Structure formats: structure tokens, C-alpha cells
Amino acid sequence: MAEVAEQEKVKKAPSEPLFSKKNRKLITDPLTDNNPITIQVLGICSALAITAQLKASIVMTIAVIFVLGVGNVVISLMRNIIPSKIRIIVQLIVVAALVIIVDLVLKAYAYSLSKELSVFIGLIITNCIIMGRFEAFALANGPWKSFLDGIGNAAGYGAILIIVGFFRELLGSGTLLGFKVLGDPVEKTGLFAFGYENNGFMLYSPMALIVVGLIIWVQRSRNKALIEQE
């Protein structure tokens, strides 16, 4: 992905540049070979719950990118003063506070959007990827690296959400972002004129698990190194 442009940046920089190869890997790794959902198998619960529609997947992605990016930086800045005994609680408070602020801002300035998101905003708190990254990365690394790691992991999570949401909405409702791309099932236009039917089963959560399973299968058959040894 844009390999050339990124290599130029690396050459120019003297010490540890902002986008050094190592730092870039923080963003690209979670998108591919260390994806939070398909490799680390984290955040599955929300991936099942909200991917019945593409739009919800996209919005959740944006919200998680924000919360994880900012949260990682906050935790990273506090990493030397957090008492280790209560670090999990501290992390939880940081996520909860961020999520509440996001919720209030949306309610005040984008009321109709906040109504559509309703539960998702609250669900961010329960997303294990967030706590996982705080614990595994932000507590041990500087703010900039933590920021990149947060963005990367949230984007990796979001990429899977969007893929799953795409297939579930397309095959389950015959729509994408609410547009009837396959025709109208009641009026029998488009594909439906040829006897095609929506697969209502796609709207149920178990199908999200199956779609995620298929993605894992495809990913591991393309990169054999990801297959766990006995």
C-alpha cells in the first residue's frame, strides 16, 4: 500500500521519524496479519451485534477509531503514574469518560445521528479491543506510537465490520446503505423478478460469525504463516 511514498519519508528522517517503518507497521499490521478480529479474535461480540447493516458498521468503525486513538494516547501519557493494582479500573474509567463525552457531543450537535447510533456508542465501552490495546500497548509505549497503534487496531477491526456488514446487508436485505441495489422484493423488480429471494438468515447474528469464519479461512489460506501449529 503506497509503499514508494512511505519509503521516501523514511529516508529523510534523521532519528526515529514519525512514520518510520516500525511505526507504519503499527498501523498496517492490525489491518492484515495481526487483525484484532480475525487473528486475535477480539471484539467478536460487537462484530456480531451491529453488522446487520453497512451503515451501522461504518459509524461504529469511526467511533471506535476515535475512542481507541484518543484513549491510547491518554493511557500512554498516564502510564508512569497509574498504580498497577488498579490499572484496569483506570482504563475502564478513561474509556467510559471518552464514550460519555462523545455521546453528549453527538446529542448536542448531531441529534438525529446520535439517535441512530443509540446503543452502539455505549457498546464501545464493552469492546475488548479497546481494553486489550490499553493493557498490551499503551501502558508500555509512548503517546505517538500508542496513537498509531490505536488507529491501526480500530481500523483493522472496522475493516472486518465493514466487510461483514456489506455481505449481511446485501444478502439479507438486498440493500446497501439503505439503497435497494438488488431491486424491490415486494414489487419484484431487478433480481427479484427472476425469483431471487433475500436470505433473512443473514440478518441473524450467527451469520456474522460464519462470515467472519469465512474471512479467517480466506486470510489463512492466502498466508500460510498465520496458521497455528499444533
Residues that bind other proteins (CB under 8 A): 49-50, 52-53, 56, 80-86, 89-90, 93-94, 97, 100-101, 104-105, 107-109, 111, 115, 118-119, 168-169, 172-173, 186, 200, 203-204
131 CB neighbour count, 10 Å cutoff:
18
Identify which of 165, 196, 142 has the alpha carbon closest to the alpha carbon of residue 46. Answer: 165
Q: At residue 189, what are phi and psi to the nearest 5 degrees?
A: -110, 175
- The least distance separating other proteins from the CB of residue 91, rounded to whole angstroms, comes to 11
* 184 Rama class: left (phi>0) / alpha (psi -120 to 50) / beta: beta
- The least distance separating other proteins from the CB of residue 11, rounded to whole angstroms, comes to 37
Beta carbon nearer to other proteins, 18 or 86: 86
Which residues are CB-contacts of 133 (< 8 A; sequence separation ≥ 6)? 68, 72, 149, 150, 153
Beta carbon nearer to other proteins, 4 or 119: 119
Beta carbon nearer to other proteins, 156 or 172: 172
- The least distance separating other proteins from the CB of residue 161, rounded to whole angstroms, comes to 12
- The least distance separating other proteins from the CB of residue 96, rounded to whole angstroms, comes to 8
Which three cell numbers mark 12? 529523510
How far is the C-alpha of 206 from the C-alpha of 61, rounded, in Å? 20
Q: Which DSSP category does 19 fall into?
A: T
Beta carbon nearer to other proteins, 56 or 160: 56
- The least distance separating other proteins from the CB of residue 107, rounded to whole angstroms, comes to 5
Beta carbon nearer to other proteins, 101 or 210: 101
What is the identity of the amino acid at 221?
A: S
Q: Map residue 179 onto helix, strand or coil.
A: strand
